[in-house]
Amino acid sequence: MDNYTDRIQALLRSALQAQVDLGMGEFVVESPMSTRPAEVAERLSEVGKVVSVSEAFGASSAGQQHQEGIPLTQAATFASLTDHHEAICNCQECPLGQTRNKFVYGVGCPTADVMFVGEAPGAEEDRLGEPFVGRAGQLLDKILAAIDFSRDNIYIANILKCRPPGNRDPQPDEMAKCFPYLREQISLIQPKMICALGRIAAQALLQTNTPLGRLRGQWHEYAGVPMMVTYHPAALLRFQSYKKDTWADMKMLKARYDRS
Ligand code: SF4
């Protein structure tokens, strides 16, 4: 089984698990793996009863449709971010719990209207326990300041709360284990809009493998929350040419924020 298939199935399992947690026992799934619906059904049945696995492949993704069906206000099972943080900060659900120095929960305003989501902590974040504090974080702060935002009025979190060794990409099983934590954070914060920073965060939230270049520049939705996509600040440090597009994305975000 290829990595992409594994990843999509892991993300679907994570999304479906959230529905099971809410008391839903069966699902209808539109499978992105159109040639292997039986295989998808078998894997998903680890989570709950699969009513049908459609061979119809919609680019909008089944996971997103199902997630949109769950009001974020109902998805939250903790009273506050503080309670949630305390409940999960010793997590050992995936191997990264053994290798992290510090658990990196998130930072910012607990009632923020805008939430930025990256992929995973890096070395500095792992050392300090706060997301986006290395060179990329400093650049993010400058970008935020340019549109009159700061860590005091937005919220920043990652898909993964623990650093992948050597800053490698998050693995599908790690994201599947950790993604419900992010969903809970979003449920508690209830932002008016989300901005995914980089390909991995964008693809995980939207449950797609569409390249970042084709995702940015337009509005999407995550669980009913308007969502947009832009480059990860670390990519801007490597590729200056992304700055123009990133600035366009930030202006798009700010324009919607100002209208809201
Ligand atoms: S990365 Fe997420 S799932 Fe894995 S140990 Fe850390 S908090 Fe738990």
Ligand 1 pocket check for 102: Cβ under 6 Å: no
Summarize pLDDT for 124-151 with one digit per residue, the tens.
Answer: 999 999 999 999 999 999 999 999 999 9
For residue 84, how far is its CA from the centre of ligand 1 (angstroms)? 14
197 neighbors 42 (Cβ within 8 angstroms):
no
pTM for the model stands at 0.74
What's the confidence (pLDDT) of residue 43? 54
Going by alpha carbons, the residue nearest to atom 4 of ligand 1 is 94
Structure confidence by residue, pLDDT tens digits, 1-60: 445 455 555 555 655 554 444 444 444 443 333 334 445 445 555 544 443 333 222 223
Kindly state if the Cβ of 161 falls inside 6 Å of ligand 1.
Answer: yes
Based on the number of CB atoms within 10 Å of its own CB, is 131 exposed (0-12), middle (13-18) or buried (19 or more)? Answer: buried
Q: Are the beta carbons of 92 and 177 closer than 8 angstroms?
A: no
Indicate which residue's Cα is closest to atom 5 of ligand 1.
97
Tell me, using a 6 A CB cutoff, whether residue 178 lines ligand 1: yes
- Strand 114-118: give its sheet, edge to edge: 107-108, 155-158, 114-118, 193-197, 225-230, 220-222
| Predicted local distance difference test score (pLDDT) of residue 87 | 96
**Residues above pLDDT 90, as percent of the chain:** 70
Contacts of 163 (CB under 8 A, 6+ apart): 96, 99, 100, 101, 104, 120, 121, 122, 123, 125, 126
Nearest CA to ligand 1 atom 3: 178
Rg of the chain (C-alpha set) = 18
Q: Whose CA is nearest to atom 2 of ligand 1?
A: 178
**119 CB within 6 A, ligand 1:** no
Please say if the pLDDT value at position 187 is more than 60: yes
pLDDT at 98: 98
The reply to whether ligand 1 has any atom less than 6 angstroms from the CB of 109 is: no
CB 108 within 8 A of CB 122: no
Please give the pLDDT value at position 82.
Answer: 97
Ligand 1, residue 160: give the atom nearest the CA. 1
**Cα(187)–Cα(247) distance, rounded to whole angstroms?**
28
- Output the pLDDT for position 77: 80
Is the model's pLDDT at 185 over the cut of 70?
A: yes
- Determine contact, residues 221/64, Cβ cutoff 8 Å: yes
Distance between Cα 204 and ligand 1 center (Å)? 15
Q: pLDDT tens, 81-105?
A: 999 999 999 999 999 999 999 999 9
The number of the ligand 1 atom at minimal distance from the alpha carbon of 97 is 5
Mean pLDDT, to the nearest integer, of 195-210? 97
Q: What is the pLDDT of residues 220-245, one digit of tens each?
A: 999 999 999 999 999 999 999 999 99
159, pLDDT greater than 50: yes
